[in-house]
Structure 1
Amino acid sequence: MSVPEKVGSWARTQQQEYAHGEPRPLGGLLAAVGVYGALTAAGAVALRASGRPLPDRIPVGDALLLTVGTFRLARTVAKDPVTSPLRAPFTAFRGTSGEAEVAEEIREHGGWKHAVGELVTCPFCLAQWIGTGFVLSWVAAPRATRLAGLVMTVVAGADVGQFVYDKLQSDATGD
C-alpha cells in the first residue's frame, strides 16, 4: 500500500471512529487549520522580513480596542444580513436569529464546503482568524489598525445603544 493510500485509509478510519456516521468535515477542518497556520506563519515571516521589532507588550487600550473590534467584526461577517452574499455559497438562509442577524444552515455536509460553512457562520470561530489579523496588523501598522479597530468598536457601542433604546422604548410603551 502506497503512502497516499495509507493516509487515505487512516483518514477514513478517523472519520468513522470520530463522527459515528455524522457528516463531520474532518478533512476540510484540517485544511482550515492548515490555512490558518500558513497565513499566520506568512504574517510572522513578513513582519520579520520588514525588520519591524515585535512589541514587548500591547497597551491595554489597544488590546481592548482590538478585542471589541474583533468581536464586532466577527459578528458582522458571521451574522449580518449585508454579508450574507459572502456566506451564500456555503449556507442557506433559514430566517432571523436576533436583531439585525440572520440564521443560516450549512448547505453541504462533509468536505471542505461544510468546513468553510461552519467557519463563516460561527462568530466564535471567526474571532480567532480576525483577532490574529488585527494583532499582526497592529504590529505592522498600528495607526491604521487602531482606526479599523475603532470603527468596529464604535459599531459595537452603537449596537449597545440600539438595544438600550429599544428596551427603554418598550418599557415606556408597554410593547
Structure 2
Amino acid sequence: MRKLAESVRETADEYRQGANRPLGGYVVAMTVFAGLAGLAGLAGAVAALRGTSSRRISPYDLILMTAGTHKLARLISKDSITSPLRMPFTRIAASALTAVAGADYLQLIYAKLQQSAED
C-alpha cells in the first residue's frame, strides 16, 4: 500500500510540473459528487421498484440526457477538475495550447477559410 501511495505521489508531482494544481482537492470534489449522484440513482431505483415513477421517456428527458452526456464527456476530457482521472495517461506540455483554445483556434481558421471562399 505504501508503494502504491508513493507511486501516485510521484505521478502527481510529475503531472504538476511545478505548477499549483490542487489534484487532491479535485479528487475530494469528484468523490463527493459521485456519492451524491449515487444517492440520486439509488433514490430513482427505489422509486422505480415501488412503481411511483413513469416508465416512459419523454422527448424532453431524451434531450436532457443527450445534453448531459455531451457535457459529461466534455468535462472529463477538458476540465481541470477531472485532471486526476487523466493524470496517469497524459502529460502537460508547457508550450502547448489548451484543448479548448486549440478547438477555438481551429474554428477561427475554418471561419476565415469559409469567408475567403465566399469572396
Q: TM-score, normalised by structure 2?
A: 0.41
Q: Return the structure number with greater strand share.
A: 1
Q: Which has the higher contact order (CA 8 A, sep 6+)?
A: 2
